[in-house]
Amino acid sequence: MQQIRKWLRRGDAAPTVTLPTALDRPFRAIFFDWDGTAVVDRKEDASAFARVAEGLLRQGVWLAVVTGTNFGNINRQLGQVVAPGLRHHLLICTNRGSEVYGFDSTGEAVRRYLRVATSNENQKLDAVTAAVARELHETYGLPVEVIADRLNRRKVDLIPVAEWADPPKARIGELLQAVEGRLNAANVPGGLHGVIQLGERVAQAQGLDARVTSDVKNLEIGLTDKADAVAWLDRELLQPAGIPWHDVLIGGDEFGDIAGFPGSDSRLCAASADAPVVSVGVEPNGVPPGVVALGGGPARFRSLFARQVALH
């Protein structure tokens, strides 16, 4: 408790808040998104979060980051900052369900899972992405940018302009307005919703079993998503350890609908009906039933972790 007070005095965590009963109890595992949830972005010094996370790891709580980014980013911000002797209870699920990393007894990173795409799947990912980009550019005159250097997925940047090169999650409402405005100005039918549907149609026509999603800035076409990471955690962690879903807390910042489709973090709940779910995001369209909307961003999430340390 003294350590928690020290964090709060330093300003590393948000002031404590009154939590709903469903959240104000100790959990044996916490699965959470990274950007916008635990940190503002991938440039942030995450040492404040790492310190409060260590308080839970020290008590045997399992922590699993479930993110769309690569392992290097999370390892730099979190993995290498956590004390080596505590890393064995930390899992990092990266690339939208395509990889899982853990740490051995010495604190060295070990890849626990990798989804390997076939050459045919990679060719189809390229073909689908190129077809969507071509349709948007040639039919509607909309300049877009294809991002192909991602594991098991491709992106179409719908707003490749300097102002929105790396938008923070806290500005998702503004970003949505900017993207919708750009698509509407080009007369793209249905705006962002229509672009997602276009991606689904093209993938189906190519015979690709794809996960078509959007973080608002990009249309993403992949072979896996966060639900695949959660399924791995259920199979390889929760079931062997005898941890029921009601002892798991799920945290994120994008659960509510975006352009008529569920937010990217909604896939964290795919197999976890009994797990309490909390959002610290802006959630411009609100959150689905059953999700607790705390708001407050990463500072609030650190406060939630500090409360968990106290409860344990």
Residue that the structure tokens 């309490």 belong to = 276
Domain definitions of the chain by residue range: 2-115+225-311, 119-222
pLDDT, one tens digit for every residue, the chain (312 residues): 444 444 433 444 445 567 899 999 999 999 999 999 999 999 999 999 999 999 999 999 999 999 999 999 999 999 999 999 999 999 999 999 999 999 999 999 999 999 999 999 999 999 999 999 999 999 999 999 999 999 999 999 999 999 999 998 889 999 999 999 999 999 999 999 999 999 999 999 999 999 999 999 999 999 999 999 999 999 999 999 999 999 999 999 999 998 888 998 999 998 777 999 999 999 999 999 999 999 999 999 999 999 999 999
Instruction: Say what the pTM is.
Output: 0.91
pLDDT at 181: 98
* Distance (Å, whole) CA 54 – CA 230: 22
Angle at 95 between CA 166 and CA 233, to 5 degrees: 130
Domain 2-115+225-311 has CATH 3.40.50.1000: yes
| pLDDT at residue 147, rounded to an integer | 97
Residue 108, CA atoms < 13 Å, CB-side half-sphere? 2
- Give the model's pLDDT for residue 14: 47
Structure tokens at 266: 């909604």
What's the token pair of residue 61?
Answer: 């709580």
Q: Name the strand (E) or helix (H) holding 192.
A: helix 191-205
Match 């799920």 to its residue by tokens.
Answer: 250
Count of positions (residues) in the chain? 312
Task: Using alpha carbons, select from 167, 285, 170, 152 the residue that is nearest to residue 213.
Answer: 152
Find the helix or strand (DSSP H, E) in which 248 lies: strand 248-252
